[in-house]
Amino acid sequence: MKTITLALAGNPNSGKTTIYNHLTGARQHVGNYPGVTVEKREGKKIYRDYEFTIIDLPGIYSLTAYSPDEVVARNVLLEEKIDLIVDIADATNVERHFGLTVQLKELGLPMVLGLNMMDLARDQGFTFNFPLLSQLFGMPVLPVIGTKNEGVNELLNAAIDLMEGKEKSAERPVRYQRDIETQIGYIQALMPNIYEKNSLVDRKRKEVVDRWAAVKLLEKDPDVVARVKKSPQSQPVLAQMEKSRRILREQYGEDPELIMVDSRYAFARGAIREAVIFPGEDRATLTEKIDRIILNRVLGLPVFLIAMWLLFQLTFSLGQFPVGWIESGVAFLADVVGRGMPEGLLKSLIVDGIIGGVGGVIVFLPNVLLLFLGITFLEGTGYMARAAFVMDRLMHNMGLHGKSFIPMVLGFGCSIPGIMATRTLENPRDRLVTILVVPLMSCGARLPVYTLLAGAFFSPGNAGNAIFSIYIIGIILAVIMAKVFRTWVLPGPSEPFVMELPVYRLPVWKSVLLQVWERALLYLKKAGTVILAASVLMWVFFTFPVAEQQPHPDPSVQMEESFAGRIGHGIEPLIKPLGFDWKTGVALLAGFAAKEVVVSTMGTLYSIESGDPGDGTGEVPEESYAARVKEQSGFTPLTAYGFMLFVLIYVPCLSTVAVVYRETNGWRWPMFLIGYTMTLAWLVSFLVYQGGSFLGIGR
């Protein structure tokens, strides 16, 4: 069977991921590119006796070296064995998307261009001359409707025809002004072999890549300059680069990079003018009509808050039914296992440590998935880009811009992809500040803690409101801390906000559900590894050393004299002003591994204290997990709310800290993150608990 390695490229919001999911289905592998935290998605597709290896490149706007995403995408295309590129462009926004198409064309690889969202483009009145576009760009240009899986196989057919020589992908790199072409030639003649793998392909390919590198040197691309500096032949190349840039600056009166960027977009604009007919300007699209409300200066923020409130209400109200079913199943399993085993440490380990700990986390899987489903749905409709736009004014006042809000929104699902998403920010200060505040957004791992305590200490009608308020407080704290950091820690001018607002569309449910399925597997994998290990470890800490009263020590005495009890009593003076006791401190310490472990630790703790669930009666305990927590924790609604706030703010999980270490290349900022979140968590919880106690609220 023949093989083809295909790179799928495109701007963010082009529908590229939807097409990738259609092509690969569940046959995907997700990891990271070596040495960086940029996500690498790769899948397989068998089609017409060909095995396609499909690499989903990060969504990018250009091939400049402004962000890690852009550097990774172009290094994949230049250094890995890629047979051809399939570029996905939004047919309703060709002016912007064709700019990337022209840049990809300069890499010299065979290309196919797919114009996605053709149904929306036709509804808006766009008309495309596809044969002429193919001729102008020198590549097959095809209509695609990714949401309906229309035209996707035609992209593969065109790729096969290119590989078999039935179609031509003409080399039409942009030709710049004569003076610029002359300087490119001077630099290219001296160019060392900085992309060595291309020398193993063929001479023609190497010439194209050397020309591309010469163009980038003329633009003073930092990544290409750094590669040249590593070469023994670097001195004459860099000297020619500076000489050529000086000559062009004197001739044109501006930086060569600006001239060359304008030339690329002039090529794209010329092709559009020849082959695309735009709708009349007096015709208001559905997207424009909706945006008059969504982006309204007065209504925009209330609409966003209402959308978030509804999301969290639905997450709690709809999730309580499957949560109850799973909770009953866990209790039944604990009862069956407990009745079938003799008394002893092994029974305690399995029933209290494993079932009580891991089961206490798994029961909240429906809530996590409902939240992630809602966020994924809103992203797919195009609304989340509007939320960032609406937040721009507030964010700008805090020293950032609306684009920083996208990683923060992603942090609702998990802090790790939120932090990784900051690589799209071009300003290093903006990126670092956003990394530091993303953990203040409530990730899905914290939701089980909120759901447990809200269900135990608040009425069903107010539980969703309590959780919603926690999320809003997280946003407010993130914005405030961004202002603090931008003013005193990382001062400097903020970048202007430019963001593409995609058209509204119904998400592809296959793609949405696939992402939710991946989240479910990740959650269960976490429950079966990190949380299981932490639950067993906490059981050991609660069980040993065994108290002296033999043969059946009182559970409360056993916990007091255990390793966990001693640690908890050691930190109790620090957290007592917050209304927490030593047991709460142990649960918070366990949360360093993963926030779900806070729940599993409480599950282990209260399973032990309440006695063996498998009491030999054949009855499954009617008392729910939440009821046990309410009865045995000694919390009041005020204490529970303060605890939820502490879990929201204090140090993120170890995995998040590790990602911050990798993104910032050192321990300075991860340690700063740990220090400031712990301090802020203590201060906020102290003010809430002491202030509420003084006012007699929630006691």
pLDDT digits (tens, 9 = 90+) for 566-606: 888 899 999 999 999 888 888 898 888 778 778 877 766 66
24 annotated to bind ligand? yes
437 annotated to bind ligand? no
How far is Cα 609 from Cα 535, in angstroms, rounded to an integer?
16
Res 618 pLDDT > 50: no
583 annotated to bind ligand? no
Residue 607 pLDDT class (50, 70, 90 cuts): low
| Helical packing angle, 530-543 and 596-609, nearest 10° | 40
Res 250 pLDDT > 60: yes
Res 275 pLDDT > 50: yes
Give percent of the chain above pLDDT 70: 85
282 annotated to bind ligand? no
Res 487 pLDDT > 80: yes
Does residue 452 or residue 199 have the better pLDDT?
Answer: 452
Q: Which residue has the tokens 């808006």?
A: 124
Residue 518 pLDDT class (50, 70, 90 cuts): confident
285 annotated to bind ligand? no
Average pLDDT over residues 301-314: 84
59 annotated to bind ligand? yes
Judge: domain 2-164, CATH 3.40.50.300. Answer: yes
Pairing of strands 2-10, 127-128: unpaired
53, β-bridge pairs:
5, 44
Residue 547 pLDDT class (50, 70, 90 cuts): low
How far is Cα 242 from Cα 249, in angstroms, rounded to an integer?
10
512 annotated to bind ligand? no
198 annotated to bind ligand? no
84-90 β-sheet, strand order: 28-32, 39-47, 50-56, 2-10, 84-90, 111-116, 141-143
How far is Cα 72 from Cα 78, in angstroms, rounded to an integer?
10
116 annotated to bind ligand? yes
How far is Cα 5 from Cα 53, in angstroms, rounded to an integer?
5
633 annotated to bind ligand? no
How far is Cα 210 from Cα 219, in angstroms, rounded to an integer?
14
Does residue 497 or residue 478 have the better pLDDT?
Answer: 478
DSSP 3-state of 40: strand
- What are the structural domain ranges in the chain? 2-164, 178-252, 302-695
197 annotated to bind ligand? no
Spell out the residues 6+ positions from residue 180 whose beta carbon is closer than 8 angstroms to its own. 218, 248, 256, 259, 260, 263
Does residue 696 or residue 529 have the better pLDDT?
Answer: 696
360 annotated to bind ligand? no
514 annotated to bind ligand? no
Pairing of strands 111-116, 141-143: parallel
39 annotated to bind ligand? yes
157 annotated to bind ligand? no
Mean residue pLDDT of the chain comes to: 82
Question: Which of 173-182, 491-500, 630-639 shows the lowest mean pLDDT across its residues?
Answer: 491-500
The helix (H) or strand (E) run that includes residue 623 is none
One-letter amino acid of 85: I
37 annotated to bind ligand? yes
15 annotated to bind ligand? yes
Q: Which residue has the tokens 């209790």?
A: 331
29, β-bridge pairs:
42
